[in-house]
Amino acid sequence: MHRPRTAFVILGMLTVQDPLSGYDLRKAIESSVGHFWGESYGQIYPTLKSLAAEGLIVPSPGPVKQRRQAYSITAAGRDALQQWLALPFTNDPPRNEFLLKLFFGREAPAGATAAHLVELNRRNRSSLEQLEQIQSLAPKLNAGNPHLPYWLMTLGLGIAMTRAALEWGERTLLELESPAPDAETQPVTRPTA
Amino acid sequence: MHRPRTAFVILGMLTVQDPLSGYDLRKAIESSVGHFWGESYGQIYPTLKSLAAEGLIVPSPGPVKQRRQAYSITAAGRDALQQWLALPFTNDPPRNEFLLKLFFGREAPAGATAAHLVELNRRNRSSLEQLEQIQSLAPKLNAGNPHLPYWLMTLGLGIAMTRAALEWGERTLLELESPAPDAETQPVTRPTA
DNA sequence: CGTGGCATGTAAACGGTTACATGATTTA
DNA sequence: TAAATCATGTAACCGTTTACATGCCACG
């Protein structure tokens, strides 16, 4: 009774560009929703088959030389997507390994936690840069695209959260580096990023 | 060669409080790292068995009346935990269903996206309130606890990100409610929270 | 006593990733 | 035509959740 969400990502991507093959879908997903949603070939290809069997997509009649068999969304597919979009969203069980290691930081070898923090900041800086780049280019690249306002909103949340995480990370790193008032935690020299 | 992370959460919790039973662990996890890490009984009980078999924990000799069999961490267990804490952390594949539905918002029925946004804000407000409560009480409740500084840092990131998400959410809701400059998106009345 | 909920445990299903296999196509 | 890489596909495994089974204990 519960269709895997992979199906809806595929249907959604097909409302953006149509037709698309499994290979194209993977790339399109990675380069658009990739920051907050991932799909692997092992999921995509079987899902394409089952979606086609149910009539939510149809194999595109194009150059079917066994290479890049593309699919198009059907009216039934759009209906199914629309229904799903209206359903309440669920927070799937959160899993943040960084936070876990930070939480148990007292048990870690000296310097390990600070190193993690440096690495987190590095990743966040890189992410933020990338997201802001997209934000600045998207309006021109997608001028007139009716999806654009929603994409910009999505981007906005990603940027807001990444920026907040980065600010926290830089603040906290200073805190870790400065000698603790209590003698319990020993000061740590900052590893080279 | 790759031990499930459930094992390390358990070991970590046992450095905070020892001994603990499976039932206690579940509750302790939920009420501490629960905001960014979840574990179910189906994971906990088998893991306890295998950790005990490897000598990383030992069944506590306490009141073993078949009720609340508790376990203690061993020196080997602490070693294993410490080693794992020093390993680079991995970002597991991100999965944010809200962002997915927002991204495809153009295909959603009228009002659905705004309703999701209202709901997200509700959840974030509630989370934030809870986290700030913990932040204000933790120092007194855990005075002298050597884990405390790390817990406060963890909390700090949670608060920073939740606050950023909430600010974004309130800003964006206004944006969604106000008539779009382009005629493509129709204005939506705010659902009752 | 007996009923309800507490605590432990397990089996099965599920979503998902990984690793591998295979042919087709480009390029050198 | 040889080598590389593209594109599709599949099988096996893995961690996790869900649902269920079971006995224990406190309390009416």
Percentage of chain A modeled with pLDDT above 90: 82
pLDDT given at position A155: 98
Residue A28 or residue B188, greater confidence: A28
How far is residue A130's CA from residue B143's CA, in Å, rounded to a whole number?
42
Q: Which amino acid appears at position A131 of this protein? A: L
Tell me, what DSSP letter sits at residue B54?
A: T
pLDDT given at position A141: 96
Query: Does the CB of B24 sit below 7 A from strand C?
Result: yes
Q: Is the pLDDT of residue B193 over 80?
A: no
> Closest residue to D19 by CA to C1' distance?
B42
Q: Is the pLDDT of residue B183 over 50?
A: no
Could you say which residues 11-50 of protein chain A have a Cβ atom less than 7 A away from any atom in strand C? 38-43
How far is residue B9's CA from residue B26's CA, in Å, rounded to a whole number?
10
Q: Is the pLDDT of residue B111 over 80?
A: yes
How far is residue A10's CA from residue B100's CA, in Å, rounded to a whole number?
11
Pick the residue of B6, B33, B101 with the most A CBs within 10 A to test the interface with A by mutation. Answer: B101
A4-39: per-residue pLDDT in tens? 999 999 999 999 999 999 999 999 999 999 999 999
pLDDT given at position A94: 85
Quick one: average pLDDT of B46-65?
Answer: 86
Instruction: Tell me the residue length of chain B.
Output: 193
pLDDT given at position B186: 47
Which pLDDT band, with edges at 50, 70 and 90, does A185 fall under? very low
Cβ neighbour number for residue A62 with a 10 Å cutoff = 12
- Provide DSSP, chain A: ----THHHHHHHHHHHSSSEEHHHHHHHHHHTGGGTB---HHHHHHHHHHHHHTTSEEE--S--SSSS-EEEE-HHHHHHHHHHHHSPP--PPPB-HHHHHHHTGGGSPTTHHHHHHHHHHHHHHHHHHHHHHHHHHHHHHTTT-TTHHHHHHHHHHHHHHHHHHHHHHHHHHHHHHSPPSSTTSPP-PPPP-
A164 closest CB neighbour out of B5, B160, B184: B160
User: Is the four-CA dihedral A163, A164, A165, A170 of positive or negative sign?
Assistant: positive
Q: Is the pLDDT of residue B22 over 80?
A: yes
Residue A127 or residue B60, greater confidence: A127
Q: Is the pLDDT of residue B73 over 90?
A: yes
Quick one: average pLDDT of B11-16?
Answer: 98
Across the interface, whether the CB atoms of B157 and A180 are under 8 A apart is answered no
Query: Does the CB of A94 sit below 7 A from strand D?
Result: no
Quick one: average pLDDT of B6-13?
Answer: 98
pLDDT given at position B178: 79
pLDDT given at position B65: 54
Percentage of chain B modeled with pLDDT above 90: 82
> Closest residue to D18 by CA to C1' distance?
B42
Quick one: average pLDDT of B51-57?
Answer: 96
pLDDT given at position B81: 97
pLDDT given at position B5: 96
A25: nearest nucleotide, CA–C1' criterion: D7
pLDDT given at position A73: 97
User: How distant is the Cα of B65 from the closest Cα of chain A, in angstroms?
Assistant: 31
A40: nearest nucleotide, CA–C1' criterion: C17
A103-120: per-residue pLDDT in tens? 999 999 999 999 999 999
How far is residue B31's CA from residue A92's CA, in Å, rounded to a whole number?
17
pLDDT given at position A84: 97
Tell me if chain A has a CB within 8 Å of the CB of B60: no
Residue A151 or residue A177, greater confidence: A151
